[in-house]
Amino acid sequence: MDFYAIKFLASSSLTGETYFGYIFGKKRQNPEFNVSILNRKTIKEYEIPDISEEYINFKSKMDILNYTLLKDSKTMNLNKQFNAYFFTTIKKYGLDTISTKFHLAVEEGDPYVLKAIVQDILFDWANETSIKLVAQKYRYEDLTWLSATKEKGEEGVFEYLKREDVIKALEVYPVIDPLEGILVYKLDVGDPLFVIEMSKNGNKEIIEGNLISKELIPNTDYIFLKIDLGNGTYGKTVVLKSLKININETKLMSLRKQQDKYYEKNDKMDIIGDLDVSNSKKVNDFSNKMSSMDIILIASFSVIGILVIILIAIWLGAF
């Protein structure tokens, strides 16, 4: 066994929320994961991927759904908070440490340990959860894209474009900018990029899309991208990870700044046990008032104490 894949679906009677996602990795290496959350009001509006599906199909649907939830105003804030909470929690365990625990539990075929770990991760957010979980073992040769690479050489990487989960996606190609472009492997999910699409009449059309997911193709210098082209249309492409591509730099910087501000703020959110920064001024003001009051009280008691000592001395002297 080289890799583990865990797909889970959990619910909390306390919060009325449903949690789902995947965790993929190997021993002593940081895991890859993606998680989402839906509450009672929104769960009927979306189709949650079936955890019994093959991991590749589940991952593909999960990535697209998570991307959609992070764009929808009704679900965006809750999912951002939950994603940040999930990452912060497993980081406290140690990414490589928890990945090794997952790996060993899958290798030993122990679903109870896996459930216990996932429930423990969710506990501070949701308290007790009811959880369903499916884990799969993989060897390098089990993974379809690796098989394609081995059987067909470098050309095999383009078998990614024929995968069942992206069969209906449009084949596109990023717009190259060898001088001022950004390296494609440095793009994050949600980042804007320009791609070329071949229209039905044979013309080439440049479209601005947003990155949904990226997958490094093992043992090669290629990367597989899924791209949101808008209006419910998705694109797919396989490119060299060292390719420099054209992006809307102003838009990218704005998105990155928003993301940095969010995570900086989220470090102090109540959900991970820190004081909400919005209350910090009130707390400081209150502390300052208390400090002044303490000084007055101490001074008052000191004066009273001295007077009492003098009176006692006078009284004793009378005898």
pLDDT in tens, 211-268: 998 888 877 888 899 999 998 899 999 888 888 888 877 777 776 666 655 545 544 4
SS3 at position 71? coil
What pLDDT is attached to residue 143?
A: 56
What is the Cα–Cα distance from 81 to 75, expressed in whole angstroms? Answer: 10
Query: For 144-155, how does the pLDDT look when each residue is reduced to its tens digit (9 = 90+)?
Result: 444 444 444 556
pTM of the model: 0.62
Query: Minimal CA–CA distance to 163: which of 205, 240, 217?
Result: 217
Give the DSSP letter of residue 239. Answer: E
What pLDDT is attached to residue 197?
A: 83
Query: For 178-203, how does the pLDDT look when each residue is reduced to its tens digit (9 = 90+)?
Result: 667 888 888 888 888 888 886 666 67
Query: For 63-83, how does the pLDDT look when each residue is reduced to its tens digit (9 = 90+)?
Result: 989 999 988 999 999 999 999
Query: For 6-26, how does the pLDDT look when each residue is reduced to its tens digit (9 = 90+)?
Result: 999 999 999 999 999 999 988
* Residue boundaries of the structural domains of the chain: 3-138, 167-266
Per-residue pLDDT band for 307 (boundaries 50, 70, 90) equals: low
Share of the chain above pLDDT 90, in %: 34
Per-residue pLDDT band for 120 (boundaries 50, 70, 90) equals: very high
Strands (E), 42-102: none
Average pLDDT over residues 117-134: 93
What is the Cα–Cα distance from 256 to 40, expressed in whole angstroms? Answer: 31
